[in-house]
Amino acid sequence: MAKQSQGRKVKEAKGNRLLVLPIYIFTLLFVGLPFVYLFLLSFLKRAEVWGVDFTFTLENYKRIFSPMYLGNFADSLKLAFTSTICITLLGYPYGYIMARMNKQWKKRMLLLILIPFFTSAIIRLYGWIIVFRSNGVLDKILMGLGLTEKPLKLLYTYPAVVVGMIYALLPFMILAVYSSAEKLDYRLVEASRDLGASSWKAFWTVSFPLTLPGLLSGVVLTFVPSMGLFFIADLLGGNKIVLVGNVIQEQMTKGRNQPFAAALSVVLLILTWLILKLYRNIAGTSELEGIF
């Protein structure tokens, strides 16, 4: 009997080995190799007219450390921090409360969150342009209420970009916290309440630590993309707010300087990697909660 099942295991393993072929080939060819190329590219020179000159240089990295580009990195990080903090403050209670609703409402709320989540980000941002533009909806409301006298010109300002970021990334946080809070055994909270803890204390000593993995993965899921969403800065910030993403895009298209864009990407990748590593150390797992 034991032998038989062993033989079966070997057979299964053989079948399995062939099954991994597609993901091996695809990933190595279209994810692995491109990133090796990116790394190499960042040490090359741009050609005079178009393309890449295959000579080694450190010039690209030196250029990043000029005040202008360091400033772009600082701006991007600042925006990412600001949006992530706002998203956490708004999204954590939302996801937590949602997980405490009854089954039917949970389903309804999920649907309500997913509908905007699944519509094009551009379309959703476009709605904010209508809200923010000079003499737009927000100006009209504020002026109608007598709070302001003339149009505020909110479009193409920093707050507009932050709102855009929050709007685009909030669902990630909500879903991450929700999936973590859903698994929370509420009897633990009730037990601590029975033992005399105030609801505030019960939350901070029981619920919060147990939903922390969701919160942390929500932070990663909002922080990382927010450094690269150049079109939000583009559409809501005009040309005033230049993020690393915008610089990369410009260097790839108008600037025609692929190696420099590659160097910027490598630095951004290292930043991303550091954030993920930090997450791994704090959360003790590399798995992200929420959409997975």
Partner 1 sequence: MKKTFGHKLTIVYVAILTVLTYVPILLTVIYSFNESKLSTVWNGFSLKWYRELFRDSDLWEALLNSLILAGSSCLLAIVIGTTGALGMHGRKSKADKAVAGLSLMPIMIPEIILGMVFLAVFSFMNLPFGMLTLIIAHTTFCVPYVYSMVKARLVGMDKAYAEAALDLGATPVRVFFDITLPLILPAILSGAMLSFAMSFDDVVISIFVTGPKVNTLPIKIYTKVKTGVTPEINALATIMLVITALLLVGAAFINKIGVKEKSEKGERK
Binding positions for partner 1, 99-138, rule CB under 8 A: 107, 109, 111-116, 118-131, 133, 135-137
User: 15-74: which residues touch partner 1 (CB under 8 A)?
Assistant: 15-24, 26-28, 30-35, 37-38, 41, 51-52
Beta-bridged to residue 52, according to DSSP, are 46
283 binds partner 1 (CB under 8 A): no
Residue that the structure tokens 């929420």 belong to: 290
User: 261-280: which residues touch partner 1 (CB under 8 A)?
Assistant: 261-262, 265, 268-269, 272, 276
User: 215-234: which residues touch partner 1 (CB under 8 A)?
Assistant: 224-225, 227-231, 234
Cβ nearer to partner 1, comparing 148 with 199: 199
Q: In the set 64, 162, 170, 283, which binds partner 1 (CB under 8 A)?
A: 170
| Per rule CB under 8 A, count of chain residues that contact partner 1 | 86
Min. distance of Cβ 195 from partner 1 in angstroms?
A: 19
255 binds partner 1 (CB under 8 A): no
| Backbone dihedral angles phi then psi of residue 54, each to the nearest 5 degrees | -85, 60
Cβ nearer to partner 1, comparing 62 with 198: 198
Helices (H), 51-146: 59-64, 67-99, 103-118, 121-132, 137-144
Residue 127 CB neighbours (<10 A): 13
Residue that the structure tokens 């491109």 belong to: 34
Cβ nearer to partner 1, comparing 131 with 188: 131
Measure the CA–CA gap between 219 and 240, rounded to whole angstroms: 26
214 binds partner 1 (CB under 8 A): no
Cβ nearer to partner 1, comparing 212 with 276: 276
Helix (H) or strand (E) segment spanning residue 225? helix 208-226
* DSSP summary character for residue 1: -
* Contact by Cβ (8 Å): 245, 229: yes
142 binds partner 1 (CB under 8 A): no
Beta-bridged to residue 46, according to DSSP, are 52
Min. distance of Cβ 231 from partner 1 in angstroms?
A: 6
Selection from 176, 183, 120, 158 nearest residue 237 by Cα: 158
